[in-house]
Chains A and B, each alone.
Chain A
Amino acid sequence: MSRVLVAMSGGVDSSLAAALLVEQGHDVVGVTMKTFCYSATPGHGKTCCGLDGIADARRVAVSLGIPHFVFDVEEDFERDVIEDFVAEYAVGRTPNPCVRCNGYTKFGGLLDRGRALGCDTIASGHYARALHEPDGSVLLRAVDRDKDQSYFLWGLPPGLLPRLHFPLGALTKPEVRARARALRLATADKPESQEICFVPTGDYRDLLVKRLGPRHPALESGPLVDVNGDILGEHRGYAGFTVGQRKGLGGGFVEPMFVLEIRPETREVVVGPRDALGRDRVTLSELNWLSAEPKVGDRVGVQLRHRAPEVDGVVIEAGGSLTLELAHPVAAVTPGQSAVVFDGERVLGGGRILSASGRRPPQTLPSPSAPRRTADPAPRP
């Protein structure tokens, strides 16, 4: 019987993951990362939004008869997630804070902490699969493609992968709920978290104003221009926009208009019709590989947004950054978002979208409707 560290957020997924490991006879240790605090009333004490999650995780751990510990990673979270989030919007990009949190904050320190607690294996409630074979370990998409969270895991420290285990990788969300109810877990009917945890109001602009100051160029009004540079109107700060976004551009256009590009140096937000959104060449930076790095000429799949369909592509440049030529143009390739590279079911790794080029009418449209105004938050596993 080996000792397993299970990362518990206080949600139903990680609760069931812990319960399944206990059922399987492992010696399970629950761990919750305390990531974020906000002041309930400015200048007065601290209230932790994460404390409810911590309390739920502890309740489940006690009911399962396993130890549970809380590790304070607020400083790491502040530096790696919140500061990055603000810095990205400041330069006109759209970050994925949940990817940063998973890669850096939640899993980053788990290998050391696991070792400290005598745990051979690290488990979480993510919908993904880790396959361990004699010639190495691979990260795979979840069996339930609707819930698949492998998109959020490309940034994992590669050294962690051989020790990872995802007990929910072969289950669907309804199955998870049903089993959690059957086991009478306290979190069985807890709703999914939908907002970015450090933006509890859902409006990230307040955070940017607080961190950058209201006079920051990203928050100052600027010109709304078309592809020819003609001024169509004014916007209230480019940090409020995401490439591919339709809403918030004001009315009065003959056909629906979308954000095509954000130019922080001139504060211009370039808009155009849907046809102008397509891009078939994308360059990724800040790369992280969980398997052998793809080489020029390799055919891969790439997912450019959470819940977006995978697109086929060919590697045309590799090294410090990675450039892919896509099999067809894709709408709303958004700088700052994660691009995850697959070989079939297997996650090879990924990076952040640095730039996109090759304008052609897109064959895939922003789906299901217009892209969301903020980065999609991950359900917290």
Chain B
Amino acid sequence: MTPIYLDHAATSPLRTEVREAMQPYLHESFGNPSSVHRWGRAASAALDEARATCAAALGARPGEIVFTRGGTESDNLAVMGRVARLRADGLEPTVVISAVEHKAVLESAEHACARGAGTLVVLGVTASGEVDLDRLGRAFERGHVLASIMWVNNETGMLLPLARVAERVREAGGTLHTDAVQALGKVPVSVDEPGVDLLTVTGHKIYGPKGAGLLYVRAGTALSPLLHGGGQERGLRPGTQDVAGAVGLAVALDLAVREQAQEAIRLQALRDDLEARVRATVADARINGAAAPRAPHVSSVAIPGVDGAALVARLDLDGVAASGGSACNSGASAGSHVIAALYGSDDPYATVRFSLGRATGTGDVERAAGVLAAAVASLRGGSA
């Protein structure tokens, strides 16, 4: 039987439209966009076009788009670049993040604040998606705040209360970054609603190329670059641009935003069906974050009394590709910081994340639920 891919939150296949749009820039239009000759002009025009498309998709202006090599790089540039800039301006930065941020934000914030370079405040998040906003409010008393709060959590699909965070940050005159990697194409995303200063996008979660991302930088938000060596991307991301990557990202982002409303309805119906089936067959399963508002593509299923790594392996052998927690860290299955934040570090549940995408249909969800139920029964000591 054909295996089913239910790990779209890890990565997604390239769309045909994206591949076709990228093709010329891998071959005949190979020029360096910084060159003055015709090859350079062709590349530069494509890059401008891609930048304009991305800006339009996000409700931004083209000059506010900085192409990067992916989500992790964008997160690092936003957090470390902003902290470095504040320090260069003689200010004392305070970085406020949620406890469920992606490691790219969590660890760059820790790094940026190491050795007294800044103060790091980690806001608790409840299983119903509430963030400790009082603590955020108190952080402003310390000095200039960079808040980095993700739009949609990658492990659970939970939506964080970004609008309320944005309101607080705006009132206090701070800077707000959001990692919108899991939000794009699944929920409506715009830089002005709720109003963010920095926003991370990556291509490969929305059927675009890997290694292509962008950071939206609101006009007037000053950053220091992390890399040095050229003036590309307004000096914020030097290095010859990946034109094909930028073109692919633009097409993917444009399609994701256009199709979002319709696709979200379809994905939510599939996810609800999956969860209903799981609840019916694995009686003691818990859906992580079910009490919170959620994006429609992720179902984080927690099951007590099984080994999570073995369960994910068994699902793969039985034709269902899912992941434990998130798909990062080769080989590591150390407890997820996200689940620990929501349910405590001694939570006895193993988590399997199913994430749905364009190719997912009703039959897939039905089969996945059946395979999961059989695997759980087998792991719990039934027949092998």
Which residues does A use to contact B, with CB under 8 Å? 29, 32, 34, 48, 50-51, 54, 67, 69-72, 112-120
CB atoms of B332 and A72 under 8 A apart: yes
Stretch binding the partner chain, chosen from B39-47, B247-255, B265-273, B310-318: B310-318
Residues of A within 8 A of B309 (CB): 69, 71-72
- Which B residues are in CB contact (< 8 Å) with A67? 313, 316-317
From A29, A50, A115, contact of B317 by CB (8 A): A29
CA distance A70 to B332 in the complex (A): 8
Residues of B that sit less than 8 Å from A by CB: 306-307, 309-311, 313-314, 316-317, 330-334, 378-379, 384
**CA separation between A69 and B316, bound complex, in Å?**
10
User: Cβ of A118 and Cβ of B317 under 8 Å apart?
Assistant: yes
A353 to B: closest C-beta gap in Å: 35
Chain A nearest CB from B107 CB (Å) reads: 9
B86 to chain A, nearest CB (A): 24
Q: A113 CA to B378 CA in the complex, in Å?
A: 11
Q: Indicate if the CB atoms of A69 and B378 lie closer than 8 Å.
A: no
**Bound state CA distance, A50 and B384, in angstroms?**
30
A113 touches B330 (CB 8 A): no
A112→B314 contact, CB < 8 A: no
- Among residues of A, the one whose C-beta sits closest to the C-beta of B381 is A115
Q: Using Cβ atoms and an 8 Å threshold, which residues of chain A touch B311?
A: 116
Which chain B positions have C-beta within 8 A of A32? Answer: 331
Q: State whether B334 touches A72 (Cβ < 8 A).
A: yes
B307 touches A116 (CB 8 A): yes
Q: Show 20 A/B contacts (Cβ-Cβ < 8 Å), sorted by A.
A: A29-B313, A29-B317, A67-B316, A67-B317, A69-B316, A71-B309, A72-B331, A72-B333, A72-B334, A112-B310, A113-B307, A114-B384, A115-B379, A115-B384, A116-B306, A116-B310, A116-B313, A117-B310, A117-B313, A119-B384
Contact partner, A112, options B307, B331, B332, B334, Cβ 8 Å = B307
Q: Which residues of B contact A120 (CB under 8 A)?
A: 384
B331 in complex: contacting residue of A29, A51, A114, A117, CB < 8 Å:
A51
- Cβ contacts under 8 Å, B333 to chain A: 71-72
Bound complex: CA of A114 vs CA of B330, how far in Å? 21
- The answer to whether residues A117 and B317 also contact, given A69-B309, A72-B309, A112-B307 and a CB cut-off of 8 A, is yes
A34's nearest neighbour on chain B, judged by CB, is: B331
Cβ A118 vs Cβ B384 within 8 A: yes
Q: What's the least CB distance linking A48 to chain B, in Å? A: 7
CA distance A54 to B330 in the complex (A): 9
Shortest CB-to-CB span from A61 to chain B, Å, is 13
**What residues of chain A lie closer than 8 Å to B379, measured between beta carbons?**
115-116
Of chain B, the residue at the smallest CB distance from A48 is B331
CA A317 to CA B330, docked complex, whole Å? 49
In whole angstroms, what is the CA distance A116 to B309 when docked?
Answer: 10
Q: Which residue of B lies closest to A50 (CB)?
A: B331
Known: A70-B330, A72-B331, A72-B333. A118 touches B314 (CB 8 A): yes
How far does the Cβ of A272 sit from chain B's closest Cβ, in whole Å? 48
CB closest chain-A residue, reference B114: A43
